Amino acid sequence: MTHTVLTGVVVPGDKRGRELGFPTANVELDDSEADLPPDGVYEGWLEDSGGTRRLAAVSIGGRPTYYGEHGARLVEAYVLDFSGDLYRQRVRVGVGSAVRGQERFASSDELIAQMRRDVEAVRRVASARA
């Protein structure tokens, strides 16, 4: 079930997701005043410019593990089971059920372990709905 659909262009980020093994599509929203859900990780999807929709773990927030309270609020989508280039594509991102709230982790290793659990939670939510 999708609660919010956001539209924007995939722009380069700081490549941290790629370094952690979870490359994300950083979406610069068409409407910077979009009514975003609260910061956290969500089950969702990303639809590319060709209309292909794929399951995604969607993160909304300021990346507190690396930027503390001062991180810019971003919408990022980790597209499951996908490797490709989405840069400069206009995409739609569906934000569905919450997986967890935004958290600050003590290390990158702790964040990676949680991201693995997040991906599994997204798969469970999606399969329960199918």
Between these two residues, 114 and 14, which has the higher pLDDT value?
114
CA separation for the pair 128, 55 (Å, rounded): 13
Which residues are paired to 18 by β-bridges?
none
The average confidence (pLDDT) of the chain is 90
pLDDT computed for residue 46 by the predictor: 98
Provide the CATH number for the domain around residue 33. Answer: 2.40.30.30
Question: For 106, which DSSP code?
Answer: S
The DSSP 8-state label assigned to residue 68 in this structure reads: G
Residue 22 is part of which domain span?
Answer: 4-129
Distance CA 116, CA 11 (A): 24
What's the CA angle centered on 36, arms 41 and 81, to 5 degrees? Answer: 40
Beta bridge partners of 93: 6, 46
**What's the pTM value of the predicted model, to 2 decimals?**
0.91
**pLDDT grade for 1, boundaries at 50, 70 and 90:** low
Inform me whether the pLDDT recorded for 69 exceeds 80. Answer: no
- pLDDT over 90 at 32, yes or no: no
Measured distance CA(17)–CA(112) in Å, rounded: 10
